[in-house]
Amino acid sequence: MTDAGAPDARLAGRTVRRIVFGADAIHRRVAELGAEITAAYPDGELLLLGLLKGSFVFLADLAREVRRPLHVDFLGASSYGAGTVSRGAVELLYDPNTVLRGKHIVLVDDIVDSGRTLARLVDLLAGRGPRSLEVCALLHKRAAPQFQRPVRFVGFDAPDEFLVGYGLDHAEDFRHLPYIAGLD
C-alpha cells in the first residue's frame, strides 16, 4: 500500500503490514536533521560516514540538507545476513578510505536496533583520532543494550517490528521504497 492506500507496484505482489513513516514525514524529518547537523558543526572538516547498505538513501538525502561543506564516505558492516534478527557477530565488509584524524565524523545509520554493530564501529572509529564522533540514525528502537552511547541525531523512534523501505531491507528487497513499512 502507498501513503494514499492504493496498491504499490514496487512491492511486486508482496505485502507489508502497514506504513509506519510516510515519504512526506521522512522528507520533513531529514530536512530537520540536516539543519541540526549544520548548527552543530559551524567549523572544521565534517565527514558524513554512512553505514552500508541501509543508510545510502538516508545519507544521500541528509547530505543535501546539510548547509555547509562536507565530505561523504562509507563503512560496511553486517550482522543480519538474510534473517530478520541480528546474528550478534559483526562482520566488517568495507573500511573507509578517508583519513578520519581531526575531522568531525557523523556516523550515519539507518536504524539502531540491538546496538551491536554501532558499538563495535564507534570503538573502531574513535581509535582513529577524530575531532568528534557522533551518531545520526534515521530510526532508533530505544532497546539497544549493547550501545550505551547516546545517539545525538535521531529521526524517529521506531516501533519494535521489522521495518523495510527507505534503504532498510529484508534479504536485499524493499530498499527502494520511499516510505518505511512494517514487514508482514
Kindly tell me if the per-residue pLDDT of 6 is higher than 70. Answer: no
Say if 12 falls within a structural domain: no
Average pLDDT over the chain, rounded to an integer: 87
Q: Which residues contact 25 (CB under 8 A, 6 or more apart)?
A: none
Helix (H) or strand (E) holding 17: strand 16-21
* CATH number, residue 122: 3.40.50.2020
Residue 13, in any domain of the structure = no
Question: Range of 32's domain?
Answer: 20-79+88-183
Domain count, the chain: 1
Task: Indicate whether 31 belongs to any domain.
Answer: yes
CB proximity list for 172: less than 8 A, separation 6 or greater: none
- Helices 56-65 and 23-40 cross at an angle (nearest 10°) of 60
Count CB atoms within 10 A of the CB of residue 141: 17
Question: Over 90: is that where the pLDDT of 63 sits?
Answer: yes
The confidence score (pLDDT) of residue 152 equals 95
Please say if the pLDDT value at position 24 is more than 90. yes
pLDDT band for position 165 (cuts 50, 70, 90): very high
User: Would residue 56 count as lying in a domain?
Assistant: yes
Give this prediction's pTM. 0.86
Known catalytic residue at 8? no
Among 179, 171, 120, 173, CA closest to 149: 120
In-domain check, residue 7: no
Instruction: Give the integer Cα–Cα distance in Å for 113 and 79.
Output: 11
Options 113, 157, 173, 184, the catalytic residue: 113
